[in-house]
Amino acid sequence: MHAKFAIAASLLASALIAGCQTSSKLELEQRTAPTTYNSVTFTDYDLNRNFSGGIPGPDKVFRITTDKHGIRRTPANTSEVFVVLRNHTDYNSILEARTQFFDQSEIPTDVAPRWQRVVVPANSTSVYLEKSTTTAQLKYRVEVRQAK
């Protein structure tokens, strides 16, 4: 009787632990992260995920990361954002990225952002570039997703 009870209890406990692990995996830091400026965000969490602490502890899974990003002036005094994307997998990755520009008061400005394709070869890097149309000093927010 005691042996049966112990088996049932251990089964229940392992099911509970598995359940907790699943819920912690679903709780993604990036989904609830506050909007930041002069930043790159992965809107496709299959590319880059931060898991908050659960029973297995904090974890990070990534296929694509950003090596470097920034903004500079063009000869016509408009702005150009650059993002160096790094592919950590053995497969070529076709991504899409877009940039929303903001003025110094953090109000969205410039033309509507549009998705542009970027191919990042396996275990290599590529640069995504996007130019603004205005000559004002700008902040940026780049979004990256997988191309369909």
Partner 1 sequence: MNAFKPIAILGAAVLVSACAPSRVDNAAGQPSVYQDVGSAGRVQGVGIESQDVVAMTDKMMRSLLSNPMVSNRPTPPRVLIDMEGFKNESTSVINLNMLAKRLQIELTRAANGRMVFVNRQNLAAIQKEREIKREGLVDGGTIRKTQATAGVDYQMFATITSQDAIDRQSQMRQRYHYISFEMVDMELGTLVWGDGFEMSKATQDNVLYR
> Minimum Å distance from CB 9 to partner 1?
50
Positions in 81-120 near partner 1 (CB under 8 A): 110-111, 114-117
Phi, psi of 37 (to 5 degrees): -110, 160
By CB under 8 A, name the one of 1, 32, 72, 77 that touches partner 1: 77
d(CA 26, CA 125): 29
> Is position 43 an interface residue for partner 1 (rule: CB under 8 A)?
no
> Which token pair is 43?
């809107």
Distances, alpha carbon 19 to alpha carbons 31, 50, 117, 141, in Å: 20, 19, 38, 35
Amino acid identity at 114 = R
Size of the site for partner 1 (CB under 8 A): 19
Residue span binding partner 1 (CB under 8 A) among the ranges 3-11, 16-24, 49-57, 70-78: 70-78
Residues that bind partner 1 (CB under 8 A): 74-78, 80, 110-111, 114-117, 130-134, 147-148
